[in-house]
Amino acid sequence: MKARELLIALINASEKAANIARKCRSNQHLFSLLIEEKTGDEKNDRFFHDFKTLADVLIQETIRYDVGSLFPCRKDSIKGEESNKFENVLGDKVIIEIDNNQENTFEMLRKVLDNNDEAAKELTNEIHKVVDTEEKLSISDEVEIDFDIGIWIDPIDGTAEYINGIDELTEFPNIQKTGLQCATVLIGVYDKSTELPIIGVVCSPFATKDDDNYDSKIFYGISLNDIKYSNVQPRVKSRKIAITSSSEVHSRCSSFEISMAAGAGYKALKVIEGDADIYYLSKASTFRWDTCACQAILRALGGDIVEFKNSIIEKQPIPLKYPDNNEDKCNRNGLIAYRDVNDFYKLVGDLSDAIKV
């Protein structure tokens, strides 16, 4: 498998995902039919409400189908956050499966959408549309992936932000606290032998707005042996900023100003873009699908995402890993995401005495 071909496939899949997300979000009547609250094992206990939408499930299964069709030997290793079972607010239960038959897709969506033919047709067209971002990659065609890989998909990270869509700014340039910009599509590839991420694609479906129309921004990176490649052009700023959630302890984080924002993928993306220097989370509230893509890009930029707890105890970076098993997918030891390892050591110095690990 050529790394370039896989990366192009993931970039195109992320843009198709963004198209589906925008299509589902643009029609409020349609959108009201598509929200289901997660329960049981699917629920993130940190949040009182934890929703999934048809957009989540459609995106995940569309990416799985598109990428799996191009690389059939890897299809069984493409995993996602969501179950492909969906029940709309009318009580209709449907298994979401995508194949090359548009009529099958249409009939499946008609059932979910209470026989709304027009909406089912629009979504079917988006799912089966050929998307080519025509991204120009300078990575050589000779770079091969000759080992076993796995792929983690988070179809819409920040689902609550996607549903609510209420923008709230922070005092820091280019950082939102809440809103559609905090929703991201995350696709990460990891090496099953080293258990480390090697390719990441992060798509922000609502990055820019012109009148009532949104456009994407796509960020990607490869960290494969000695190859470090990305499309990221980091912004330069004068302030040292740490980004985190409102539940974190930060009173003694003296080396950084603190910004709070929604969405694990969004907060990591702010570090990738250079709008924040570090993202930390002490709690076990993120999962492998939340971090794999962003970690690959940060590793391509010379940074990483590491365990919060053990890295503070050892006072050195201990990378998050992705064992290929069916056990707990949670990042139980929290996380620290950074571009510059010197910022990691500053944070460790600040928090070692302030937080009991």
Phi–psi pair at 220, nearest 5 degrees:
-150, 160
CA distance 62 to 23: 14
Whether the pLDDT of residue 228 is over 50: the answer is yes
Q: Predicted confidence band at 46 (pLDDT cuts at 50, 70, 90)? A: low
Angstrom CA distances, 9 to 63, 220, 237, stand at 9, 12, 33
Whether the pLDDT of residue 48 is over 50: the answer is no
- Contact indicator for 265, 294 with CB cutoff of 8 Å: yes
CA distance 80 to 59: 10
Whether the pLDDT of residue 134 is over 70: the answer is yes
Which spans in the chain are helix H? 3-26, 28-32, 54-70, 102-112, 117-128, 159-164, 264-273, 288-300, 308-314, 341-351
CA distance 251 to 325: 38
Average pLDDT, the chain: 90
Structure tokens at 274: 């250079």
Beta bridge partners of 258: 242
Query: What residue type is assigned to position 195 of the chain?
Result: E
Per-residue pLDDT tens digits for 241-259: 999 998 786 556 889 999 9
What pLDDT is stored for residue 8 in this prediction? 97
Query: What residue type is assigned to position 96 of the chain?
Result: I
CA distance 102 to 125: 8
What pLDDT is stored for residue 85 in this prediction? 86
Q: Predicted confidence band at 356 (pLDDT cuts at 50, 70, 90)? A: low
Per-residue pLDDT tens digits for 140-168: 888 999 999 999 999 999 988 998 889 99
CA torsion through residues 111, 112, 117, 122, sign: negative
Structure tokens at 148: 């076993």
Beta bridge partners of 222: 199, 229
Domains and CATH numbers, the chain: 3-230 (3.30.540.10), 241-351 (3.40.190.80)
Residue 142 or 124, more confident? 124
CA distance 114 to 50: 24
Residues 6+ away with beta carbon under 8 Å from 344: 278, 306, 311, 317, 336, 338
Beta bridge partners of 153: 80, 187
Per-residue pLDDT tens digits for 99-116: 999 999 999 999 888 888
Shortest CA distance to 185 belongs to which of 65, 19, 47? 19
Q: What percent of the chain has pLDDT over 70?
A: 92
Active site residues: 56, 81, 154, 156-157, 159, 290
Q: Other C-beta atoms within 10 Å of 283: how many?
A: 15
Whether the pLDDT of residue 86 is over 90: the answer is no
- Contact indicator for 182, 161 with CB cutoff of 8 Å: yes
